[in-house]
Structure 1
């Protein structure tokens, strides 16, 4: 199946996942920026299109690129994967992923989550400031739960919880 993997990345986690996914699917791989100038006919030969974006404030950055084109791509297999700093077992992940795709597209767009991590050195200043403020807020929170304490420790510094095994469900979805 001729597949296209499209992504946007700020700190490198989404790029890593997109490139590994493209290898596994023998797919073409581009950034959203590289494809913005392409004519709609460029996408005609692709049977599957996967978009990868990073999580910010409960949304997948630039997911609207795929979601805006999805109605015109009926018949293509479509998927979105989100890369975030939250561990995959967190209930917050399922809640956030349920909101990625509007109800009218839920049957035609698969949604997946891949844990990445935080890399403060590669983060743009506004994102870095927002994360540091979040870490500070968590650390100072009264009546902290165990989850709050764990999250405060995690986001205090850079970390990497990425693993290519999280691509397995995406590969299975595209190949079935």
Structure 2
């Protein structure tokens, strides 16, 4: 059983390390410890009133943190989702895909977007193939957006957009909610 003994609960899932880096930095600023999201959500003890912050990578059309938050009883618990990805920050915040992924809980969860890291040199073969397919489709698309061009430019290169200063609004939200 994961029990919250600090002022905030910080949970994360990470594939290539940038989400873990954000989670550990956030937890340090809040005086708590970042914990990996357990496979069994019933192992999470979410006490009322103290903030719960879930950090999760955007992995294709999925954000595991949104799936987790949909399963939890958030009654009386301030909750936030930090989605970490490679979409340009302004576009990600404007589109706010996490709102749709949270469904009925979207109004109960404050959403943040954090720029991540993608090291093509570390991608699994399957992930590399998926990215190659996406980039090919984007190259064929007329009227490319700034985000489309950024994806093409980053293709097959290690790109690190992690910026720990992007945690400042998350820390402010957590402190305003009792952390």
Partner in structure 2 of residue 89 of structure 1: 90
Inter-CA distance 115–10: structure 2 relative to 1 (3 Å threshold): same
RMSD, aligned α-carbons = 2.4
Partner in structure 1 of residue 3 of structure 2: none
Offset at residue 43 of structure 1 (A): 3.2
Q: Which runs of 5+ in 1 are unaligned?
A: none
Equivalent in 9, 12, 36 of residue 7 of structure 1: 12
Inter-CA distance 174–151: structure 2 relative to 1 (3 Å threshold): same
Equivalent in 48, 54, 57 of residue 51 of structure 1: 54
Offset at residue 128 of structure 1 (A): 2.0
How many residues are matched? 169
Equivalent in 8, 24, 28 of residue 19 of structure 1: 24
On the 8 A contact 2:99/2:106 being kept in 1, the answer is no
- Partner-residue secondary structure (3-state), 1:107: helix
Partner in structure 2 of residue 175 of structure 1: 175
Say whether residues 1:78 and 2:79 are aligned partners: yes
TM-score, normalised by the number of residues in structure 2 = 0.81
Aligned-partner Cα distance in 2 for 1:37–1:97: 19
Q: Which runs of 5+ in 2 are unaligned?
A: 1-5
Q: Deviations over 1:60-110 (max 9, x none)?
A: 1343122210xx2311111110000112122x54212332322x3233211
